[in-house]
Structure 1
Amino acid sequence: MSGSRQDTASARRNNAGRAGARRADARSTASRRRKKRSGKLRLTLAITVSLLVLVSAGVGWVYFKLSGNIETFSADGLSDNRPEATSKGQNVLVIGSDARTEGNSALGGGDKEDVGRSDTAFLLHVYADGKHAVAVSVPRDTLLDIPPCQLPDGSWTKEQTNAMFNAAFSVGQTAKGNPACTQNTIEKLTGLRVDHTIVVDFKGFARMTEVVGGVRVCLPTDLYQRDLNPNRATRGDMIFKQGVQKVSGAKALDYVRIRHGIGDGSDIGRIKRQQAFVGSLIKQVKDDGLTPTKLLPLANAATESMTVDPELGTADKLISFMMGLKSIDLHNTKFITIPWRYQGARVAVVEPDASQLWAALKADRTVDGTDASGKGKKSKSSAEPSPSQSTSKEVSGEGVAVAVYNGTEVTGLAARGGRLLMDHGFTLTGTATASTQDYDATVIEYGPGEDAQAKTTARLFPGAKLQQASAPGINVIVGSAFANDPTAGPAAAEPDPSESASVPSAVADDARSADDDPCSNLSYG
């Protein structure tokens, strides 16, 4: 019996030992599995972190590379007397430079030390709604006033009157040109504040067309080497065949620069061809898709030969600006030319059509008259007073300081004018006798940036003439018209220009859209 109990106890001990060993083996296996899973997790995490580092480094490298490509011009050359920003939209001046520096002479010919010139230029107005844009071309031979511009030594030129537009880019006679002077000239011409200026040279233009795989164009006839260079003794080889084709690189540059053999051979005709080309280029980029894979090579090509204002001087600012344009529809991207007429061999600006165009852009009115301000204006209620009602004739001079001068021989007329102004809240700084006493109409003199206050002041003097002066301050020189009727009521306020602003029909009818068939209007002038 005792032996049997011992055997049973021994068997139990053996079984317990085997069970313990199995549990130990299980714990060891579980531990190995946990370590293996932990190792895999660590490896996965390490790979993930490594990939993130590589991707981040790659993005950083791209931004560093693009930023390194971008060259800026100095803001010191911009005018101190710039227009106020009146629209939520943006105005971007784009200049095509024919500078021969840094490899451009191989594409454009000419001396690489020659003075830089603006071969083409347009003002791009991006409407406040972010869905419309219009590019206004300014012919390089347009006669206008070039305001004072900064020279390389820091001094400033005197204003040039009746000068050619492309002469502004050459002020200072430098190889890379003077973008700031061209921007000052556009702001003086249009009264619009230019938010950004971009200069693209031959090389950058040609490279961009290569990156997108060529741009679709249409030729009305065969063109030969002599069409590109009229000084050739012979016709030379054919460089363009009639019909639809894709062009890139140097050939694309030849297409947009050629003047002879198409239409009337004028610069106006070439502008129309350039507008058609830019529209086709935009369409090609949109068709390719606005993805980083497509856009980064294009951005790299563009920035290699681009000069911009300091506000666009980094890759993130430039890319942010470009991506802000992606919602603009092709059909809503329009191309027009400033109202013009020939003046001898040059081009003159046609008024009042040009002023009407600038007013339309200030009010964010599109070529077809659409309100693209993004304000969502509501129609006026019939209960609201109309401009003809008395409430529109109320004049408040709060915050406006005025001096009054007697421009007649009527005694005490300046004091009377002063009392009238003070009755409407103006601050009277003094009264005196004018240098001459032969004024018929009252004259309102005002300094830079004070046109709004001057217009308010003029409402108290019906028939008054506005006259801008170089010195700040508002002076009222009362004339005999005020002497004859000093108690005349204030004139009605001018209507809101945004309500009636529109692009002149002659300009609108000649507009081109980015989605137009490249074979339309083949004569190009």
Structure 2
Amino acid sequence: MAGSHKAGAASRRESEGSAVPRRGKKRSRARLIGIAGLSVVVLAVAGGGWIYLQLNGNIKTFDDGGLSADRPAASTDGSNVLIIGSDTRSGDNAEYGHGKGDIGRSDTALLLHVYADQKHAVAVSIPRDSLVDVPPCKLPNGSWTKGQHHVMFNSAFEVGETVQGNPACTQNTVEKLTGLRVDHTMVMDFAGFAKMTDAVGGVQVCVPSNVYQGDLNPKLKRKGSLVFAKGPQKVSGQKALDYVRIRHGIGDGSDIGRIQRQQAFIGSLIKQVKGQGLDPTTLLPLANAATKSMTVDPGLGSPSKLISFAMSMKNIDLHNTKFVTLPWRYEGERVAVVQPDADNLFAALRADKTVDGKDAGGKSASAAPSASPSDSAPAPASGKGISVAVYNGTTAKGLAGSVAETLKSSGFTVTSATTAATQDYTHTVIQYGAADEAKAKTLATHFPGALLRSAKQPGLNLIVGTQYKAGGAAAASSAPAAVPSSVADKARSADDNICSNLSYG
């Protein structure tokens, strides 16, 4: 049946694919963490936007033609920046990466949400081994891959197997995972990270136990000499790179534990930059080191654009700069995303709710008097003249039929009501063709919090997720978005003591 075929195709775009084929060659264990990409953000937080005038010509851009046409809608509630660490061994990176001729890989990415009040920010670490859906991505020859289901997050950056990696594919994956539109993406490599720490004169860290050469390289088969002594110390260059990459011989030896150490490192780096003062003597060497090894989307590819971005963050203090990790659990040797905690985290960011529950939307209390839950979303609009196909994206029996009846009572024409291709939807998704955006927004007034997704096929599809509540806007809005306590309780601030929370996983 034509309608069923269309539904299957639409649903598969939300969660489709087979496993990514593994390459035969052995992957190198020397990897760069995504925290390095935050170097330019450090400059921004430190209030040094003006210094980018000195940096024209340093910055490279990647082709954004690989971005999906099926993206979350743009939002005025804050902005989102994806920061990726690349461990390519080409060029200057061979000196730091202990290898050469390798393709670009990414181990840890961070999604930085800058709130609309421009006084708060939170960086969400996404573990490299997280099992996610990777949507269709563009290859170097211009063709597009098929979507992949339940594969490792870092595989997105490797699509196409180029030295430069595939930041557009990683951005597509993050947007699909979070429902947040990524406004900017930046990639940092080995050399940039190491030289950046040299430029600031080193970064204070705290090591919970002695670390030896054999911990950095398990193949050594012996303890080796001491590399890091237990306790507080300053690191830079290759030693800083070694510190943030260590897994063995420290904490629980996991990548999850390493993420926690990386978050502490970048907090210390921000503190170091602010403590040195905001003058050209200290900031220009740091800016040069960062931007010479950085690749950004075209939206940040000029000094004026970088200035605008940097100045949007200059008023964020250390305590309001938070670090959290995507809710996770082990699934064998991989990491599964924990629901509904992950969806609730990203729903809170979409609503501009801070980790500690504040509304950071930038609206003053006097300008926005208290409102009842039903006032927080547009009143449901008439669906007269609008046709929609309804799909049940959950395991609840009869949900598509009951939602269809509700829509009919509001004037919509329901063309079909059936089960979606998969039943693992949390959010309700509205898919619309190029000429149907206005109709999609009308439909969205009946489903507060629904994700709007553009599609190549014409028409309107509604896939109902588990967060749907019968009763309209008031019922759906009764539980305001909030960062789950499982995430908030483990958040780190940039001003935390460097020796606190050294469990590392």
Work out whether the TM-score is over 0.5. yes
CA distance in 2, matches of 1:274, 1:444: 35
SS in 2 for 1:163: strand
The one-character-per-residue Cα deviations of 1:4-45 (angstroms, maximum 9, x if unpaired) are: xxxxxxxxxxxxxxxxxxxxxxxxxxxxxxxxxxxxxxxxxx
Which residue of the other structure, out of 315, 318, 334, is the alignment partner of 1:346?
334
CA distance in 1, matches of 2:146, 2:242: 36
Q: Does 1:509 align with 2:495?
A: no
SS in 2 for 1:118: coil
SS in 1 for 2:219: coil
TM-score when normalising by structure 2: 0.76
Q: Does 1:90 align with 2:57?
A: no
Aligned to 1:72: 61
CA distance in 2, matches of 1:146, 1:222: 39
SS in 2 for 1:329: coil
**Structure 2: stretches of 5+ with no match in the other structure:** 1-50, 391-400, 420-427, 464-469
CA distance in 2, matches of 1:419, 1:511: 41
Q: Does 1:207 align with 2:158?
A: no
SS in 2 for 1:185: helix
CA distance in 2, matches of 1:246, 1:80: 46
Q: Does 1:491 align with 2:471?
A: yes
Instruction: Output the aligned Cα RMSD.
Output: 3.5
Task: State the shift of 1:399 in Å.
Answer: 7.9
SS in 1 for 2:473: coil
Distance 1:399 1:122, change over 3 A: farther
Q: Does 1:159 align with 2:147?
A: yes
Distance 1:377 1:98, change over 3 A: same
Distance 1:247 1:399, change over 3 A: farther
Contact 2:73 2:453 in 1 (8 A): no
Q: Does 1:225 align with 2:213?
A: yes
Aligned to 1:170: 158
Aligned to 2:48: none
CA distance in 1, matches of 2:220, 2:373: 67
Aligned to 1:103: 92
CA distance in 2, matches of 1:476, 1:509: 35
Q: Which amino acid aligns with 2:269?
A: L
Contact 1:215 1:246 in 2 (8 A): yes
SS in 2 for 1:311: helix
CA distance in 1, matches of 2:291, 2:331: 38
CA distance in 1, matches of 2:57, 2:349: 34
The one-character-per-residue Cα deviations of 1:381-432 (angstroms, maximum 9, x if unpaired) are: 79x77749xx999642268622589xxxxxxxx9xx99985x8565x6xx87
Q: Which amino acid aligns with 1:142?
A: S
Q: Structure 1 stretch 291-300 or stretch 323-332: which is displaced more?
A: 291-300
Aligned to 2:308: 320
Distance 1:400 1:184, change over 3 A: farther
Distance 1:367 1:174, change over 3 A: same
CA distance in 2, matches of 1:501, 1:444: 17
Aligned to 1:25: none
Distance 1:342 1:291, change over 3 A: same
CA distance in 1, matches of 2:320, 2:407: 50
Aligned to 2:460: 474
SS in 2 for 1:336: strand
Which residue of the other structure, out of 406, 427, 432, is the alignment partner of 1:447?
432
Contact 1:87 1:363 in 2 (8 A): no
SS in 2 for 1:216: strand
CA distance in 1, matches of 2:462, 2:487: 38
Q: Structure 1 stretch 101-110 or stretch 269-278: which is displaced more?
A: 101-110
Contact 1:92 1:195 in 2 (8 A): yes
Q: Which amino acid aligns with 1:312?
A: L
TM-score when normalising by structure 1: 0.73
Task: State the shift of 1:233 in Å.
Answer: 1.9
SS in 1 for 2:288: helix
CA distance in 1, matches of 2:366, 2:169: 41
Identity across the alignment (%): 60
Q: Does 1:397 align with 2:377?
A: no
Distance 1:79 1:400, change over 3 A: farther
CA distance in 1, matches of 2:342, 2:201: 38
- Any residues of structure 2 matched to 1:321-336 within 5 Å, and which? 321-336=309-324
- Any residues of structure 2 matched to 1:405-424 within 5 Å, and which? none
Task: State the shift of 1:290 in Å.
Answer: 2.3
CA distance in 2, matches of 1:444, 1:340: 23
| Aligned length, in residue pairs | 422
Aligned to 1:258: 246
Distance 1:148 1:177, change over 3 A: same
Q: Which amino acid aligns with 2:126?
A: V
Distance 1:366 1:399, change over 3 A: farther
CA distance in 2, matches of 1:159, 1:420: 31
SS in 1 for 2:220: coil
CA distance in 2, matches of 1:385, 1:166: 43
Contact 1:444 1:458 in 2 (8 A): no
Q: Structure 1 stretch 266-275 or stretch 322-331: which is displaced more?
A: 322-331
CA distance in 2, matches of 1:468, 1:317: 27
Distance 1:502 1:242, change over 3 A: same
Aligned to 2:358: 370
Q: Which amino acid aligns with 1:106?
A: E
The one-character-per-residue Cα deviations of 1:488-509 (angstroms, maximum 9, x if unpaired) are: xx93324575971110001000
Q: Does 1:361 align with 2:361?
A: no
Distance 1:453 1:285, change over 3 A: same
Task: State the shift of 1:332 in Å.
Answer: 0.5
CA distance in 1, matches of 2:52, 2:429: 53
Contact 2:354 2:360 in 1 (8 A): yes
Distance 1:69 1:197, change over 3 A: same
CA distance in 1, matches of 2:343, 2:82: 18
Q: Which amino acid aligns with 1:72?
A: T
Task: State the shift of 1:196 in Å.
Answer: 0.7
SS in 1 for 2:501: coil
Q: Which amino acid aligns with 1:196?
A: H
Q: Which amino acid aligns with 2:484?
A: P
Q: Which amino acid aligns with 1:93?
A: L
The one-character-per-residue Cα deviations of 1:151-182 (angstroms, maximum 9, x if unpaired) are: 00011000011110000000000011111110
Larger radius of gyration: 1
